[in-house]
Structure 1
């Protein structure tokens, strides 16, 4: 067995590369291959800052979405779907709701977009909150499938028959054609022709007429598969890469809520690629930021879609034991990117060769176990002083805070030459320290300047906490925690204090409490000393409450949404409303009080708001009451 530690950051570099290639219309791998690469990276470093984004971030020319456009959690088997259904059932029981329906729709294989009917704009999903402005497509004969008078999310796709007849010689697949279209201000002549013929369409999800429904009590694998087959009938018209199951009942959906990047009330069931059979020749290990040793299987070369591959992921060391994978094992793999494909089946078993000590620092490794099956899962180095863990922690920290320059090579130099033991050690480094570690004077000067700029600029407390890399404590969970406890008191609170917070379970509570008693707690103290302008979550809430109490407006405390063309941009209207003590919402919900409309507001949207009991007024009436 090889004892070479595989650099997990190569996985994330590969993902970033394929993100860029996809959003510039030049994808090198299929969607399925990308998803498996994505799954491999998540198994190695589930809290890596890469997973805090939803899509490929645009730098400028962006439009804020009128509704959040989050990613969809993915499954590749009905066993995985069943686990999701168990969470739905638990939510239903907690609400004491008699039953709930599960909705099944096709997962169109195109580019997700947000359509604003009132302002006639269109934007790609990108990071979920805003996207690239592609409104020009609306003037280039982009066909809208659904009610164009109503805003909503949808998928830009190309008609299959048209693609096969006119575009297949110029693009690898329908998705690459659409991806190229949305990243070009001037579509090439082939795409212009497709637009002129109405062959490129925006299909609004809300108006898909092929949805299938099933009671959760009847949602067996057999019945769900039948629904999937029914939904796949649309494949004759559009390319699809699976189906989406989601909760149809609004109360259950609201109860399940959302994670940072995806809705908990839906899951995409996708299809694996073609399997290839081969033999395991060696096993090497990747060491992640939290010390997890994740196995990579080396196998005899197989040619997948014209490329030679010889590595696959086994996800975690426990999988080697449970599945009986060792050198000489016969396995089937499916291509999942240029680095690490995915193991789909084990045909003949072998004796797993698993390390007992860390491949970096030689500390004895510790097993963790699945709480339901009791099977072993991850094998982790508990030594917080492990160089590999320190390097990964530093990279994660500065990437989360958007401080550039701390890449793999630079951080390795700092840890090796300066013997750094924690991420907070970086904040005491001088120019001479950087130079003695082999960092060039230009890069060293930039790093010091960027750190100083960050420490003297306003910094949200939840970003600081999330940057520590505590297991299961990302930015969203950090914000929830800091809404209850100030960041400078976290070392003093108990495990039960944390556990009592909504959505905090045993694992997150244990991880957070223990981290505050060890190195991470010391790191936090040093960060609090260095960052001079911390924006506290609690203070922001208090300020909003103060504005509400001091406001003399009769509308103070009301929840307001703006639509149509008002005298100011939507964000400026929202900021102004908040200064008067109102609560600005992006879209009309069940608790919205007022919908303010300007010019060119859609009457259908206004009537829909009235039907929900929302007060609908003009901007002029709104300003008179303000």
Structure 2
């Protein structure tokens, strides 16, 4: 590759990036410079993504890109196919569904070499001798990209093969997919490719998500699919997607000309593209990236099987995730003879790899900072199948567990799932690390010193630590707290990042509509709704308030027990451990946590700041009635207008018992919407009557208990 593709462009080799101020240019000069920059950037993209041979440094490229963007912004010079479209456009309301010009069929597959040989027998009986093109079966998301006159005009996911999601604006943000083709390309072209997330980028991306308290993607394919279907292209632009192309679906003078051809033959009508190997060779000439390191022409099926086995051996070292090898009959005329079924091509077969199972490699270890400051080590894994579920992270519990197993980055480990839910590292199968992982001495988020308490580590930064503050806000507003709709973890994170919540949760009640405008892409209505939700949460009942402020070991049920015993907030704050131990079910550990929490000056300051802003928990009448004395209730499902804790408090205030499971001692199971099956089965087994909500409230009325409905 030489510079003849951009012969007179000053920004190709050793470009001068000492640009004159944008404001010193007139419109004509700006337009001319922007055009030259677009040409140069396209050239550099080709050298970087297709040729793997860049001619300028990344920093120099960034200066050229930023200059182009500055010119386009200042002089309104944006074009549909400008490289700057990669930063993303405005958010979409939804992804439109579009019909494919040429069907995007699937590929028959299997993991047994006998099945591959059967496929070869069928092919040879139909068309005689063949040779195969062998290439990776990328584990990403298949897309069809349409070019007219060399310009990208549409991109769609495979969908059901006939229709797919229109992801044009998101595809424009992927650097390795050119906005404009190069060379002597067809006037109208549809190419098929695989959008994927490179393995190294996937692990870095997951690390970032885990450190921010978000769930990681299970595997690179899920990450690519979730990213490509984002409604906000700017989010797609920030994520590390890439693409390989591997098939010409159609080519011709126009869309109409292509529609007149036999869709199953596709590119057969384009001179020079009589084989898949020829397609593979010409795609880079048009600026479309292909995978060259793992591409082979096999003269017979045994060579193809050997290629697959070699790729399986190299699987863990590949820069992308693959789940097999695709064998395609090379000759396109033979492909046309073989044809298709309603679902797949008869001329292609995917020889799949076995699923990774239970044993995998630790790629990295990250440390999450929880709401209470506890540091939790999390192992990021090469995705592995554990009991039918793909797992990409696992708990390492604490430093003592790490030391006992000798776990380090690079080790091959066995993964199990506790209670069939939470994955954890069970043992090191083969140690590849020089030493086990050590917890950091400083908080990875705020840099505060880390304190050790037995096997556990804690950040000492308190709410000065952004991670703790974000989790404190989201917990305060969550289902177990004040239940502020619209204030989830992402919104909490944005509020902290924007400096709208700086000290503690009390800052929520200082927010204005102006502060909330544009938050997470929302408009005026969203801001009004969130502000109304926050203001409506200013008069919680005492139990809900105690649960929301995040006292360690105190969940909603314990919080309600404390509220009923003491009646008002000041009494709770002044209670000592002996006072708390008087409550049935509260042991020394919980009593100590509560007294320690309110003995902390900062926590008392948070409560005071909340009260100053009008947040005053409603006192609870501590003396209970006896209208429901002797009755035991269990609740399942949801009842409109009430949380389960509120219903349990209601019956307990009038002398009844509320328990979490059905037994022979249960008098009534109250069944709301979306109930649990286990409790209903237990009720049937123990002859426990079930009550719908209306019958439950009627029963209360019969006993003289009024419920605020």
TM range (shorter): 0.3 to 0.5
> TM-score normalised to the size of structure 2?
0.37
Greater C-alpha radius of gyration: 2
Structure number with greater CO (CA < 8 Å, separation at least 6) is 1
TM-score by length of 1: 0.42
